[in-house]
Structures are given as structure tokens and as C-alpha cells.
A and B are shown apart, each in its own frame.
Chain A
Amino acid sequence: MLKVANIEKSYRKGGLFSKEKQKILNNITFECYNGECLGIIGESGSGKSTIGRLIAGIEKPDRGTILFEGNNVQDRTVRFGNISAVFQDYTSSINPFFTVEEAIVEPLKARKKDQKETRSRIDRLLYQVGLNPSYRKKHPHELSGGEVQRVCIARALSTEPKCILFDEAISSLDVSVQTQILDLLKELKKKHKMSYVFITHDIQAAAYICDRVIIFRNGEIEETVHLENLKDVQSEYAKKLLKFLITF
């Protein structure tokens, strides 16, 4: 469904007028199938967030294409209502002047849907992510981190997308809230048959939800592995990653 082919991306290194470039992504090719949860694991600076931004269409790749159902994601009409994103920093992902209701309505407004229908929809969305409808009039600063992140998920769900991108969406939450949200995502995936691209550095969280994981290193794919075969990873780096994990 989501096809990433031969992506390359580099950023300018040093000052504004510097010509020197640093390659972030090098020849990345992978595919996310329908109804699959694809995990992308890597250490900080490995370029996993960059690939997330490219999929969300926020930035352009230098080379290569990202196709969603055969169309390039560069075109916003392709992404519109089909790909949503949830980012790590929940404090900055909702306009602080918006109430929860306004935040969720925003993507729906862009579609110019019937007002009455959207109203009942918000209640349903809030209920889906486990929030009380009384939260509608609250502002983001009145909510805890886990609650704001749920609002972000509700907003991502509001357009009924086929694919949701999570960029470290649960990393800064408490473990108990993490499990709640992961359970919620599992349930939603079953109900709506969506695909997830789940970017994280937490292997245990990825193991909890993903069907397949890509291990990223220095802008290249080190290994792609089905979760059942995680035990038998081939590359040295993946082995080291698993060995260094501190489990409870």
C-alpha cells in the first residue's frame, strides 16, 4: 500500500551558505502492506524521524519516490484524509488556544462536512480513545501528557485514514499509559483495518504492537525482520541492540 523506493535525503551541514552536505538517508526501500503494523527501530540520529517526515509529506526527498496506493505522496490530495501522523512532542502538536473539540474538528473542517454529523463524531472519537465527552471544552494545558496524546490520536483518526504514522508517539509517556495506548491502537487497527508505521527506539514497545520491524542504522536499512523471527536476527548491530536491552 505504502511503497518507499530508493529514497535519498541529505541536509546542509554547517552554516546557511555552506555547501557541505550530510547524508541522512541512503537508498531506502521498503513497503508497508495493508493492515500491517510496520515498526522502524533505530538509535537517535539514524534517520528514522526523517523518513517519517518524508512519508507525512512535510519534506521532499532528494531522490526516489514514496507511493501511496500508486500515487506520489508529494501530492497533498493523495495524503488528504488517507495518511495521518502523531508526533512525539505532544505539548507542541496542538494549538494551545484551541479546545479539544476545535483541535479534532480542524481536519474535518477542511473537508467541509456536515456540521451536525461532525458533532456526534467528536463524541464517538473521544469515546474511542477512552476520554470522557466532558473533555470537549478543555484546553491542552489542562490535560496530562497521556490525555493530550490521546487527543492527538483522536485527531489522527477523525478523517478515517488508511495509514497512520507514529513518530515516537508514546516514548515520553509513563509505562502504564504506554500499555493503555498500545492496547487502544491494537483495538482500533482491528476495527478499522488500518496500517501503522510505528517509529520508535523502544524495542519492547515495537514488539508489543508491530508485525514486522525494520532496523535502521546510519540512514540505511540494517535488517528487516518479521517479529516472530526477532530472535534469529542476522546482523551484528541488531544482535547488539537486543543484547543491550534492559528488561524488567
Chain B
Amino acid sequence: MNILEVEHLKLWDANRNKVIIHNSSFHLKQGSCLAIVGESGSGKSVTCRAIMRLNKAWIRQSGDILFKGENLNHLTEKEMRKRRGKNLCLILQNGMRAFDPSCVVGVHLKETLAEHFGWSKSETEQRMKKAMESVMLKDPLEIMNKYPHQLSGGMLQRVMIALAIVLEPDIIIADEPTTALDTISQYEVVEQFTKLRERWGCSMIFISHDLGVVKKVADDVLVMKDGVIVERGNIHAVFSEAKHEYTNYLVSSRLALSSRFKKIMGEEM
């Protein structure tokens, strides 16, 4: 069953009369993880923001986005706000910019949860604490009393994932969640994502340009170039025998980068 169906999505910049996404259609199956890969400027982020309807006002969109059979494009802004967070949850790339810098992290979290659930203060705190512990954040209460700039990028990223766990959305859209992180935090965040899927089988759209991470997390993949989907299919099939030359190019440049590392490390890898 498809939880999300995007049909003939077209995005264009009304100010410059430039088409950003030409005509993309794709489906997200219930409980599966779809990865979107491509270079910067290929229209990955703009596509997922279109699903959330969070693009700037001058970026117009047409086409159908069906979430459980309901067209998100026809909802009013007020109805759409209810869907964001509870049904569709977006995890952003830059933790520093995703949180309000003028108040402690806890305020942001409580605000979001109060919007969607009628929980009491202590219940909210309890649930948040549990979720934060499950993503390996020690001392959740202290973290909730800190400002975003006092926490590292990896920690903020995990706080965002913890928030997603409490919200239990139907679809998580992760926009380059690991790009800004160092090796160890990247590994931990990727672990959290795989656990998240195992635990309550939520569907996920995972955007990244790191093919290594994508291969670890996703089932299916879309390859985008200049606003057009050039290749799609099962992740292993696409990466092992790419049909489009652009996919080949992405894979080979990635292999080239890690070639010397692999050679030094020998057969261990």
C-alpha cells in the first residue's frame, strides 16, 4: 500500500519564471524507506519541502500529493499545519538553524508537543525524557535547559529525532540529516534511523548525497538531476547496475574517493 503518492509534481519560481522540478511522480510504500540522491541543486530539498508545503511563497507548485488518499495540495494552511509534525515530520540538515536560538531547547519541544497533544506538563516531560534516552542522550533534563548553541550538531540532530519519536508521525522526511556530522555522530544517527524503522515501521524519505549512508538505510532510491528523476528502483539494483550514466558517475566518483582508504585498510572493509 502506498502511504504517499506524488503525481506530476511541478515546481516553478514565479519571480524568475524558471521551472525547478519538471514533472516528478513517485510513491512511498507503507513502512519502506525511499532515498533521494543527487548533487546540490538537483531539486532534492525543494521536493521534500513541497510535500510539507514549506517552500517560499514565490515557489509555486502544481500536481497531486496524495497522503493516505488525501490531496495535500488542496488543504488550507490551517489544516496543513495540523498535518505537519503529527503526520509528516521533517528533520532538517542544520540543527543549529532548526531550533529557535533565543530560547532553550525544551521550550521548543514543549511548544511543538502542546500543539498536537493535550498532555499535561509532567506527561510531556516524561515522554520527551524517555525518547531522548532512547536516542542515547544522557541527562535529558539538562539538555532541555540548554540553548541550541551550547549543544553540538550531533546532539541537536538527535534531539530532533527524539521529538520525531514522541510525535510518532506516519512519514519522516529527513533532509541530509547526517551531512554536517562527524564520523561517530553520523554512525549513531544512522543507527537511530534504522532502529526507528524497526521499532514502529514508519515510512521514511531520506535525502542525502552520501551514497554510503543511503545504502545502509534505504530500500528504494530515486536519482535526481536538474529537477528530473533520471533513475529509480531497488537500491542494490540501482547501485550495482546503474542504467543511467549520471548514476554511474555518482557511484564511480564515490568509489574513487574511498579507493585509497579501502586499499590501505586492505580486506578488512
Contact = CB atoms under 8 A, between A and B. Distances in A.
Interface stretch (A55-63, A68-76, A172-180): A172-180
Contact of A248 (B258, B260, B265): B258
A244 interface: yes
Given A201-B182, A204-B258, A227 B264 contact: yes
Interface string A148-188: 00000000000000000000000011111111001000000
Interface in B181-216: 181-187, 190, 209-213, 215-216
Contacts of B254: 175-176, 248
A104 B206 CA distance: 39
B40 A174 contact: yes
B187 A231 contact: no
Interface residues of B, number: 40
Interface string B125-144: 00000000000000000000
B261 A208 contact: yes
Contacts of A144: 40-41
Nearest to A144: B41
Interface string A130-162: 000000000000001100000000000000000
B256 interface: yes
A43 B185 contact: yes
B81 to A, nearest CB: 31
B257 A244 contact: no
A43 B39 contact: no
B69 interface: no
Nearest to B190: A246
A248 B208 CA distance: 13
A247 B258 contact: yes
Contacts of B265: 230-231, 242
A208 B260 contact: yes
Contacts, number: 94
Interface in A66-110: none
A174 B261 contact: no
A138 to B, nearest CB: 17
A16 interface: no
A154 B260 CA distance: 26
A242 B39 CA distance: 26
Contacts of A242: 265
B268 A231 contact: yes
A124 B264 CA distance: 35
Given A43-B183, A175-B209, A246-B216, A204 B257 contact: yes
Contact of B253 (A42, A179, A227, A241): A179
25 contacts: A43-B183, A44-B154, A44-B181, A44-B185, A145-B40, A172-B179, A173-B40, A174-B39, A175-B250, A175-B254, A175-B257, A176-B253, A178-B257, A179-B256, A201-B183, A207-B260, A230-B261, A230-B265, A244-B183, A244-B184, A244-B186, A244-B187, A246-B212, A246-B216, A248-B211
Interface of A: 42-45, 144-145, 172-179, 182, 201-205, 207-208, 227-228, 230-231, 240-242, 244-248
Given A44-B181, A247-B258, A247-B261, 6 more contacts: A42-B182, A44-B182, A244-B186, A244-B187, A246-B186, A248-B212
Interface of B: 39-41, 152-154, 179, 181-187, 190, 209-213, 215-216, 249-251, 253-262, 264-266, 268-269
